[in-house]
Structure 1
Amino acid sequence: MIFVAAGTQDGRELAGAILEAGYEVTASVVSRYGKSLLEAYPKMRINDEPLDRDALEAYLEEHAIKCFVDASHPYAENVSQNAMEACRALCVPYIRYERAETPIVYERLHRVTSYEEAAEAAASLGEHIFLTTGSRRLHIFKSSEALRDKCLTIRVLPDSRVLKECEELGFTPKEIIAMQGPFSEELNIELYRKYNADVVVTKNSGAVGGTDTKISAAMALQVPIVLIDRPHIAYDRLAEDFEGVLTFLKEVTNGLY
């Protein structure tokens, strides 16, 4: 059994590719939407229960996992760290699938290493802040003293739990864009214009995450960008494409499939 942390579009596609290669696969997601998409693979086993470090180790041991494929989001640092620790404890082979970053050359680009730094940088660049960082760290921006008098616009998934969290943080309907991506450059331009974006805050999630069109739209409008860099993690094993993952699986399973 191969365990795939598959909380992204390419993670789900990778889980499907591993399944089609003849392996038994358990794909792990943390959202109902992600689970519904994985259900398109009838033979796929799905785990939708959150697993912390100890629970993950227990799960891998109980289900006799032969290899862990980490296709979690590039910014899900805790998932990757917990996975490597659990795999080391059980001597389970681990490989990280890491989507490529979007190369960016832009004179109005401001790189930061944390959400807190992003809030400070955005505050110094304008009054209307357009956030495309997802919903998980919105509390940092909402509670930032530097952003207290700024106008925030957030773009999040149209998911009831996400919207409830936004409401509980104090965001009003006029500050929320609830839309499912990916977004074209043209749509991003129109949204930036509609919400008078003085600065766009985003992450380098790669083309699958829509970074390329977020960036190109901001560049077209000459809007400054605050880019939160990916966490720097020393992965035990890394592949940048599906073929690299499948080659590794062949090596560690010794032709069992």
Structure 2
Amino acid sequence: MILILGGTSESKEITTALVREGYQVIVCAATPYGGSLLKEAGANEVIQQRLGTREIIDLIQTRGIQLLIDATHPFAELVTANAQSACRQTGIIYIRYERPGCIIPEHTLIHRVPGYTDAAKKAVELAGETVFTTTGTKTLSVFCHAAQSRGKRVVARILPDLDGLKLCLDLGISPVDIIAMQGPFSIALNKALLNDFRADVLVTKDSGAIGGTVAKIEAALSLSIPVVLIERPISVHGSVSSSVGTTEQLLTKILDLERNDYI
């Protein structure tokens, strides 16, 4: 049995590919919304909840997991650390699927920062009135507290998830400043949203081209809107792949076992 920790569009591709080849697969997503996107992949089981190290260990032991593929978002550092710890403690194989980052040229309007706190500080400094965030809800409070303390407005572009909507409202974001849509978006749509919400600064992170980062940045630069770009955390250790095809090859190479052992 293979356990896949999802959270990216590629995790659906990986799941579909492995199921097609006859592997038994359990796939996990942090939220019901993420889980709903994975159900079409045909996994034996879809788990919809955030997993700590103990929960992952329990899954490994109770479901007979022999290999874990970590296909979570590049910025999901905690779950990656939990997965690595669980694999070390149980002795199973760990493979990291890591979405390729973007090649982003230097530009006077692009301000690179190492983390969310620095991003919030820089965004507030650059914004005349409106900070337009596209970094999700997990760290949204950091931007709200920084902006609201300076009397500035936050526009939050988030996934269409009920928990995320509630969090936005709890943080004091006006309903008219919440954009709940599933991306990634075209340059044209990004430009329209930045224009319509009168964005003074765009906050994004290097989620890779497939995550829409390049389109967001190009849209902002075309409007002369400064961009605060959160750089990726340092890559994790272990076997790393950056394409679905390579992941399957990596599986075969590392396991060096008969496929029937996983069917």
Shorter-chain TM-score bucket reads over 0.9
User: Residues 117-168 of structure 1, C-alpha deviation per residue, up to 9 Å, x if partnerless?
Assistant: 0011111112221111111111111122685311211111222221111111
Give 1:41 deviation, angstroms. 3.3
In 2: Cα distance, 1:3 partner to 1:86 partner: 12
Question: Corresponding residue for 1:115?
Answer: 116
| Aligned residues of 1:38 and 1:44 also touching (Cα < 8 A) | no
* TM-score of the aligned structures, taking structure 2 as reference length: 0.93
Q: 1:163 is paired with a residue of what secondary structure?
A: helix
Structure 1 distance, partners of 2:250, 2:109, is 40
In structure 2, the partner of 1:68 is 68
8 Å Cα contact 1:198/1:223 also seen in 2: yes
Computed over aligned residues only, the root mean square deviation of the Cα atoms, in angstroms, reads: 1.6
**Partner of residue 48, structure 1:** 48
Between the aligned partners of 1:175 and 1:150, the Cα distance in structure 2 is: 12
Deviation at 1:253, TM superposition (A): 5.2
Structure 2 Cα separation of the partners of residues 204 and 50 of structure 1: 23
Structure 2 residue 3 is matched with structure 1 residue 3: yes
Residue in structure 1 matched with residue 20 of structure 2 by the alignment: 20
1:123–1:146 CA contact under 8 A, matched in 2: no
Specify the alignment match of 1:247 in structure 2. Answer: 249
- The 1:70/1:44 distance shift into structure 2, 3 A limit, reads same
Alignment of 1:230 with 2:232, yes or no, is yes
- What code does the residue aligned with 1:155 have? R
Distance 2:219 2:14 in 1: 29
Equivalent residues of 2:67, 2:94 under 8 A apart: yes
Question: Which moved further from structure 2: 247-256 or 174-183?
Answer: 247-256
Equivalent position amino acid for 1:111 in 2: R
The answer to whether the Cα contact below 8 Å between 1:141 and 1:147 also exists between their aligned partners in 2 is no
Deviation per CA, 1:76-100, whole angstroms, max 9, x where unpaired?
Answer: 0011111111101111111110111
List aligned pairs for 1:151-230, cutoff 5 A.
Answer: 151-230=153-232
Bigger mean CA offset, 147-156 vs 37-46: 37-46
Q: 2:48 and 2:199 mapped to 1: Cα distance? A: 36
How many Å separate the matches in 2 of 1:253 and 1:40? 29
**2:204 aligned partner, one-letter code:** T
How far residue 170 of structure 1 moved from its aligned partner, in angstroms, is 1.0
Counterparts of 1:2 and 1:74 in 2: how far apart (Å)?
Answer: 21
Give unpaired runs (5+ residues) of structure 2: none
TM-score by length of 1: 0.95
CA contact (8 A) 1:142 1:148 kept: no
The aligned length equals 257
SS of 1:4's equivalent? Answer: strand
Q: Percent identity?
A: 38
The farther-off stretch of 232-241 and 113-122 is 232-241
